[in-house]
Structure 1
Amino acid sequence: MNKCHCGCEIALRSNEKIVCSLSKCKKSFHYECVQIPLANLKTQKNWKCPECTVQSLALQRSQGKDNTPIKPQCDLNTSEQNVNKKRGTAVAEYDMDEAIENEEDQAEGLFASIPATLETELRLLIRKLLVEEFSSIRKEMRSFDESLKFFNNQFEEMKKTVSACTEDNKQLRKELDLMQCKVKDLESKVSVMEQDSRQSNIELQNLPEHRNENLVNTMLQLSRVVDYVLSENDIVACNRVQKQNQNSKAPRAVVCRLSNRLKRDNLLAAVIKYNRSHPKEKVNTKLLGYGDNEAPIYISEHLTPSNKSLHAATRIWARENKFKFVWVRNGKIFVRKDENHPAKMVSHVDTLETLVA
């Protein structure tokens, strides 16, 4: 137990003591023994005990730095009397102080146990918070996992659907290719049938058009010019047809149906023969009685619209690729590079590209 260094022999409690501020001393005293009021106790942080004060003053005097007289030391008897006035007898104070000290020891044990309790409570609180937080996270993760499974199932279904659509698309493409081949084949057959229906027809281009014209007489005049015997009974029908290009200023073509294909072929052969024998005066409007203007008249087989387009494209292609001959026979188009090359039949525009190779 701590004792007051003033010599009062009374127990020194922590709330009644004052300690010398010098590190070499650190002696404890009752604040009443050194005559310090309780109100000023907290302001005495640099307080020195009487012994240290005397030594300090003596040192200052020896150095000539201080003229302050030495404070009187406290009277031990009066100090004890002053303390006893406040507390009663020393024996009674000793018993009470011992009981207080025991209580303080118990309180210190209690205070020492408080941090452990707080630590336990803090751990439990943290654990509770963590459990709640992780429980919430688990719920969110579980919800996320369910959503992920749902989207995964949707994705798998979409993959199956896309795969099925891809297979269907492949099958449809095969069917489309097959249908396109069939359509081309049917178009070719229809074109052949349509062309066969015109096998007795002959077509005249660039023949001037008049209001009261007689096309039968024109055909008879043509037969006389080319020196081919043709009677009126050989002409089944003779009329003009609608233009393919309505903006064209050329007169409408004349189509003449003869009694049979042989008549048609013989008349065409006579026209070709005449033109070859009269290169400077081929069949023209003047020879057929259409004024004095010698405009050329083009006579050929009556082709279907698709064959006419193919014939025009073939002529353009032949000029670009330096093919000398392009002609039509029995509704079919032929080309020939020169006299030393064989003739090739053109059935489609794509056929032209194969001829170059």
Structure 2
Amino acid sequence: MALKCAACGKFMPKDSAEGASCVGCHNLYHLACVGIQDRNKIATGWECPECKAKIPRKNNDDTPIKNVSERDLTGAPAHLCMSPNDTAHDITVDFSVAEELKLFREVFREELSSMRKEMQEVRRELSKVSSSLLQCNKRIDDLESSVIRVEKQFSKRIDDLQSRIVSVESQTKERSNTDSNSVEATIAQLKAELNERDQELLLNDVDITGIPEEKAENVTHIAILVAAKIGVTINESDIVRAERVGPVRGGRDEVTARPIVVRLARRALRDVLLRAARVRREATTADMNLPGPARRFYVNERLTKNNRQLFNKARAAAKNCKWKFTWTRDGRIYSRKSEGQSGVRIRSDQDILRIFGTENIGPNI
């Protein structure tokens, strides 16, 4: 800690090598401030002028009275023979200013060194954050590249199947009536294969229904809110695409609002979302900051148009037959009569006729 001279109030060096310490009051003084020319001549037990003034004088009547100014100034050095206005403060002003500047430089160096260390630490933290962001961006880019590559592969396979269908359909025109049944069976098989390939493309998709629609809405944000409502945390990097599908209708209520289709980056995340939706079947839009009153919403796996129509027919037929369960898993349709019984898979309209009978199905099958 910096010390100050008790006479002039200026700072002194930390080692106080150029000062004198009073044994009485323990204050420090510049040598020049107390009129000492040589530090080696400071007597042991030196006292400052103030402490000496407090010592009572002895009553010695034999001592002749001498003029104080003569006694003090006789033989005194030339720099002490000054006018009363030229105090010791003026003598040491240059020295004190230099000492203060020196101390200020030391304090400034310490503060500057501390600031440099803090800036270095901030740079290191920023470097770590930047590195993490670069890694995240790289992973997202790789993921998008993988999704695009898979979509291209499936699109090519679909194109090949469509070409095969066109080829088979053209061949049926040239064949005789006796071969029509086998050709139709082949076409039906190819259509079923094409439907399965289309369904494979939707294995990362979910449908969200029951959410009111409004202009300039952020569909991605709505998908994140729905996931949070059923207890699943997702962020924008987990969503490849989110949009409303289907024709725009006049109303915007629960019935007329178009469904939201969300394509997720990972199939495992889609499975987690569907399981959570089955557990929280009674979830509503309450506390989601959406327009209108609270209403139930539904999260299901996305089906192709053919599978969606087949599922609706199977559910209607099962309801007429009082079967308790009809569901989908990975694009496949299943139905079960009651608890404990095994489920049966429904692949076509013929399966619905075979399982439920013609008397329990609608006229559209």
TM range (shorter): 0.3 to 0.5
TM (norm. structure 1) is 0.48
TM (norm. structure 2) is 0.47
Of structures 1 and 2, the larger Rg is shown by 1
